[in-house]
Structure 1
């Protein structure tokens, strides 16, 4: 069977041999009752990496974001976040449908909210409205092609929020990609937010799970909300064990994924410079604009699939390529060659 080079997402990564071995030897306590030693170890490790007091293990990043909103807002008020945020556009309306909050998308550039627009959007609770209950950030920013929020921007947002006594949550699904690219510990990023979540099941290659981190009081407040949305797990040590290995062994190698993404961006730019600016590629996501071709992104994705390359339409006019540990330089070169083949067959 011909191998498909899968560049749709980094969630397709497979657990390492060390992860599988750790799962076979993991503790099997009931995490939802008395707690499981391996889960508690993973939560403590997550808290250490992010510089927070405590962590909480959940099945998915969508759930960690939802539980964070519930714990911060207590189902009232307005949430401010950049209008291209994953929480706003991809998590199926959980903010309103489950968390019961209003939301306002703030215009931004490469995932960073416009400061003036953000300041104007913040409002107090009055007899006529609930006011701003939470401000959210996202780094790396999926919709902005894996862009990293500048630390100065995060500091500005956090200081503004603290001035108004508004909590801040950061969706850090690919937090460690941002940290590696910036050359700083994840805690240096997380210091500019009250809570932060990250996935171990993307580039870090564990099979399942995300962690929500914050103060001990916040995490205790989050626990019943995790139960409410169905996130309590039983013998979760089996999967948490892989997460421990991920945090112990897989962070530094994310730089390899960034290098292959840059190689891909440079190669695609050489095929057609209108598609992207390689300088915009900071981590492991490459967004390619195909609007100039007059063909929908879905058709481009089908053309790539026919050539053995799996990619995802990001919207009607752009594609998303995501590199990960199963993508080597030869795979990137094959994707570039496939793109050149498609371009050469387009009508003049």
Structure 2
């Protein structure tokens, strides 16, 4: 049995989702006339208590649009050194916004208000103007780590005090909320803009949603068009997102339980050094000295287990809706062969 654990982006639409896509009313979204896209955007904005939303191709696109709206050429984005917007978006901060990046070293990708406060540039013509703080929740490179409500409130209050917008890369935000009990309305109050992904744990085939004020989304729509991201009859995809939000949020806790089980199974394997704390659906394993990630990935692939290298000496497993209890049992059997 081949077991797919490289990413939760490998999820496939369920039968119910496919039926919803087939039934979706369609129009031209560039003209604002796709009723299903409009429904998705309205639904997500209302869910988070924000004014407006924009359906985008991917989390990378929605993050980069947000940065381009918030930040002008020559200004800077403050983020953790493990941030997806810095490591995995093709240099988009520089290429799209012409902005600099100030990297901070947090705890598994999580920043504190004191770190952020200390990093804000002085009002000095020699300094790059700090114009955006970006957080990630959950933190992919931090093993799916999550922020506490207290930390987010402190950071939000500080950013408002110094008039620096706060953006959230919430690609796996619903995973975080499944752990903490936080609500979308809380996140809408904490952040000026939020990107959420529909195609990871929620299981839609494609798409992310960017949320913010009406004025922010109006500007974001122009940036999306400039990047070639205008949709046509995108209601087929929006319908999948609506179905995911209605039917596939609660089950994220199952993914978390299976990720914890994977960590337990792997804990005493001879090639495992340490495992980052498993909080959500991501398991990151540090390999013992002398074992490279590419070598170990190849060995596991030969056993029918697909995982991803995550640095020279790290590998990553990510659970998702197509990894069920039968697949977990097969994983335990095959990894011990």
Question: Is the pair's TM-score, using the shorter chain for normalization, greater than 0.5?
Answer: yes
How do 1:68-83 residues align onto structure 2 when only pairs under 5 Å count? 68-83=66-81
Q: Which runs of 5+ in 1 are unaligned?
A: 342-348
| Aligned twin of 1:322 | 318
1:118: Cα distance to partner?
2.1
Q: Distance in 2 between matches of 1:303 and 1:84?
A: 27
- Residue from 286, 305, 309 that aligns with 2:301: 305
Write the distance in 2 (CA, Å) between the matches of 1:323 and 1:159. Answer: 34
Task: Give CA-to-partner distance per residue, 1:186-244, whole Å, 9 cap, x none.
Answer: 22234221110111111111111000001111111111001111111111111111111
Deviation at 1:29, TM superposition (A): 0.7
TM norm structure 2: 0.95
In the alignment, the residues of structure 2 paired with residue 309 and residue 277 of structure 1 have an alpha-carbon distance, to the nearest angstrom, of: 18
Match of 2:315, SS state, is strand
Is the contact between residue 78 and residue 131 of structure 1 (CA under 8 Å) also seen in structure 2? yes
**For 1:45-194, what aligned pairs fall within 5 Å after superposition?**
45-194=43-192
Deviations 1:252-294 (A, max 9, x none): 111110110011111111435953357x11100000110x241
* Distance in 2 between residues matched to 1:86 and 1:149, nearest whole Å: 16
CA distance, structure 2, for counterparts of residue 248 and residue 115 of structure 1: 34
1:41 to 36, 39, 52: 39
| Aligned equivalents of 1:306, 1:274: Cα separation in 2 | 18
Q: Aligned with 1:276: secondary structure?
A: strand
Question: Could you say if the C-alpha distance between residues 270 and 187 of structure 1 is closer, same or farther in structure 2, counting changes exceeding 3 Å?
Answer: farther
CA contact 1:107–1:114 (8 Å) conserved in 2: no
CA distance in 1, matches of 2:307, 2:108: 22
Aligned 8 A contact 1:264 1:333 in 2: no
Looking at structure 2, the residues matched to 273 and 194 of structure 1 have their Cα atoms a distance apart, in angstroms, of: 44
Which residue does the alignment assign to 1:204? 202
Aligned to 2:291: 295
Report the secondary structure of 1:221's partner residue.
helix
Q: State how far apart, in whole Å, the 2-side matches of 1:269 and 1:253 are.
A: 25
Deviation >4 Å, runs of 4+: none
- TM-score relative to the length of structure 1: 0.92
- In structure 2, the partner of 1:286 is 283
Question: In 1, Cα distance between the equivalents of 2:274 and 2:184?
Answer: 28
CA contact 2:148–2:180 (8 Å) conserved in 1: no
Q: Count matched residues.
A: 337
SS of structure 2 residue aligned to 1:271: coil
The gaps in structure 2 that reach 5 residues or longer are none
Give the 3 Å change call, closer, same or farther, for CA 293–340 of structure 1 in structure 2. farther
1:203-282 counterparts in 2 under 5 A?
Answer: 203-271=201-269, 275-277=273-275, 280-282=277-279
Residue by residue, what CA displacement relative to the aligned partner does 1:91-118 show, whole Å, maximum 9, x if unpaired? 1100001111011111100221244332
Report the Cα distance in structure 2 between the residues aligned to 1:270 and 1:184, rounded to whole angstroms.
34
Alignment partners' CA distance in 2, 1:273 and 1:185: 39
